[in-house]
Chain A
């Protein structure tokens, strides 16, 4: 059986935010409970909007930054992974610990970790800041070779010329400084450096998005050639889904720190399941429309990752969100307040106070006329189309001078299996009981 190059489970990376010594306990949940598996020779594409945590995930997988929580295995036989997943499912803590202790990538330290670095590397998006301006190209390319102890200094000199040829640069580039190179040439140097120790796993973090369109294709083809020649497993990060489609075998779609959909590329590109993926994919320009094309525009803002939306993180922007998708009393309160105090203020002048009773109840106090309840029901119903949070209202009850608005309890979606081998994190795909 082939080895699994990367298997990560429940990875989290929370960046502390703010101030000085005694900062608040707030964190940016850049990667939150992500599991991802990449088999030998596979190219997995990772797509998502800016700021959703792609780079952070890429860095975590090669331990350029340490995870807040989670487990990572690097280059482990598949049967071990199967065993580990079995143990996870059965909550067999003893077995989990035993496998972790023996195989976990997170246990590697010091010299051992440095030697392992030979087998993995990362190429960054911006070739202007990822190459040291005061180093010659030959020293830039040779650095990983020497630092990881892959070869001696002398052998590294020879290897540099071979690597330059491999990425389509002539030997004299060895003696240039980065500022003498164009963007495409720099990215070739970065690639040469990335493959200089013949790694098994390479993270390519938007390797072409800083380049001219005309050069992008050349670099993508170069990556493909190199990967086939040296059988390198790749995590290909991009926000451009067409590029990811071109490069990858499988695609993972990330949204606000979580992977929301994952599967074979054609299944995802031609029949995406998650509403977010649908919106992403509908925006690709295609020469011949396969079927009636509906462009779903993504409305609303990119969620903040300090206090991400509850339940499904996509619910504030999801066009098909329903009752249980994650609305909380806070969100509904804001919309009701807007309706009562502003939009329909003249009809609701009998209302004294609106307040949040508990997580799932909002109370409206009024005086005088009983008709208010009927009117409120009618207006809330009418506004459901615009103010999506109102669909989470379960029922509206009157109590003497108070109207109680009860909400549905939200559910946090998990990864559900859908057809075509796709895994999707959306409540629409829950197994029906």
Chain B
């Protein structure tokens, strides 16, 4: 008898499609009704397409060496945008369009790495601290307080002075200043979800704490953390480029937006485009991920989901 019902159930399961896919469809529907979020998404997508092309098909977009800038010492003074150099050139005669297309990759990949690692560390600590409370929670909160009391750029620079100059160290220092943000956020989310009756329900059913954390709390904490990641990504790209700009990028010839911007600095009064254009590339990305993040916030809002 019970077997039969099971079969019927499975048949219906096949008829109705996978409910998780249904959920995804709803998510897309909500997201695509928000035009600014879609614009943000499209722009973000373009940046990532850029990365893929530079990484895997550089010759396809006419890039001969994706790992270094191409100098033209015949014409070392920046030239304004023209038909041969659409974005103009910067110090050393580097073509800006070519340089920007190459540079985006480093900034984005490192920034993505920073927010994701920071979020994972923060999520785990915030989760345990919020769920267990007590002395562990107290200690973690005091540690994050210390981090928050120092301006993050100052802290990152201090760490870089100790570790020395390299792109890996910039990433490392930014992870160190960024995880407390996620720890706080994950903790706050955990505390509010811990209050919900379904957690009590799970306890009454004999569910272990570890299961409650990973089956009930994490799935509810993750979506807002994802939104937070997409909102943060823009800021992190900016900070990463800033650190490179002020000299924490190794002087080796690595295509990176902050370093590229700094090249134009000596000519800023006669060739403002050499600073403005790479700067704009960073700003537009920051804006785009932010708009996308706002759209994602709508997607995870349960009020928008229920019929």
Chain A contact residues, CB within 8 Å of chain B: 59, 62, 64, 113-115, 117-118, 120-122, 124, 126, 129-136, 143-144, 147-148, 157-162, 165, 171-172, 174-177, 179-180, 190, 193
| Cα-based distance from A217 to B102 in the complex (angstroms) | 69
What is the minimal beta-carbon distance from B244 to any residue of chain A, in angstroms?
40
Q: A161 to B205, Cβ gap below 8 A?
A: no
| Cα-based distance from A381 to B71 in the complex (angstroms) | 106
Q: Tell me, yes or no, whether B204 is within 8 Å of chain A by CB.
A: yes
B17 nearest CB neighbor, chain A only = A175
| Cα-based distance from A179 to B26 in the complex (angstroms) | 12
List 5 extra interface pairs beyond A120-B204, A165-B5, CB under 8 A.
A114-B206, A121-B205, A132-B198, A136-B19, A161-B8
**Residues of B within 8 Å of A, CB-based: how many?**
34
What is the minimal beta-carbon distance from A158 to any residue of chain B, in angstroms?
5
What is the minimal beta-carbon distance from B102 to any residue of chain A, in angstroms?
41
Q: B196 to A121, Cβ gap below 8 A?
A: no
A162 nearest CB neighbor, chain B only = B2
In the A-B complex, the 7 residue pairs with the closest CB atoms? A144-B205, A117-B206, A171-B9, A161-B5, A130-B197, A179-B306, A172-B12
Q: B19 to A175, Cβ gap below 8 A?
A: yes
Q: A131 to B9, Cβ gap below 8 A?
A: no
Q: Which residues of A contact B306 (CB under 8 A)?
A: 179-180
- The residue that B204 contacts in the complex, of A117, A132, A172, A175, with Cβ under 8 A, is A117
Q: Which residues of A contact B145 (CB under 8 A)?
A: none
| Cα-based distance from A64 to B6 in the complex (angstroms) | 33
Q: A148 to B9, Cβ gap below 8 A?
A: no
Q: Which residues of A contact B205 (CB under 8 A)?
A: 117, 121, 143-144, 147-148, 193
* Known pairs A129-B198, A179-B306; A174 contacts B9 (CB<8 A): yes
Q: A64 to B197, Cβ gap below 8 A?
A: no
- The residue that A126 contacts in the complex, of B13, B23, B197, with Cβ under 8 A, is B197
A150 nearest CB neighbor, chain B only = B206
Ordered by A's residue number, 9 sampled pairs between the chains whose C-beta atoms are within 8 Å are A115-B206, A130-B198, A132-B220, A136-B19, A144-B205, A159-B2, A161-B2, A177-B19, A179-B307
- The residue that B302 contacts in the complex, of A120, A144, A171, A179, with Cβ under 8 A, is A179
Q: Tell me, yes or no, whether B201 is within 8 Å of chain A by CB.
A: yes
Q: Tell me, yes or no, whether B219 is within 8 Å of chain A by CB.
A: yes
Q: A158 to B197, Cβ gap below 8 A?
A: no
Chain B contact residues, CB within 8 Å of chain A: 1-3, 5-6, 8-9, 12-13, 15-16, 19, 23, 196-198, 200-208, 211, 215-216, 219-220, 302, 305-307
- The residue that B9 contacts in the complex, of A113, A122, A161, with Cβ under 8 A, is A161
A64 nearest CB neighbor, chain B only = B204
Q: Which residues of B contact A193 (CB under 8 A)?
A: 201, 205
Q: Which residues of A contact B220 (CB under 8 A)?
A: 132-134
Q: Which residues of A contact B302 (CB under 8 A)?
A: 133, 179
| Cα-based distance from A130 to B307 in the complex (angstroms) | 19
Q: A147 to B211, Cβ gap below 8 A?
A: yes
| Cα-based distance from A147 to B202 in the complex (angstroms) | 9
| Cα-based distance from A325 to B200 in the complex (angstroms) | 39
| Cα-based distance from A165 to B205 in the complex (angstroms) | 21
A179 nearest CB neighbor, chain B only = B306
Q: A158 to B305, Cβ gap below 8 A?
A: no
What is the minimal beta-carbon distance from B307 to any residue of chain A, in angstroms?
7
Q: Which residues of B contact A133 (CB under 8 A)?
A: 220, 302
| Cα-based distance from A147 to B306 in the complex (angstroms) | 29
B4 nearest CB neighbor, chain A only = A161
Q: Which residues of A contact B211 (CB under 8 A)?
A: 147
| Cα-based distance from A159 to B6 in the complex (angstroms) | 8
- The residue that B206 contacts in the complex, of A124, A148, A158, A172, with Cβ under 8 A, is A148
What is the minimal beta-carbon distance from B298 to any residue of chain A, in angstroms?
15
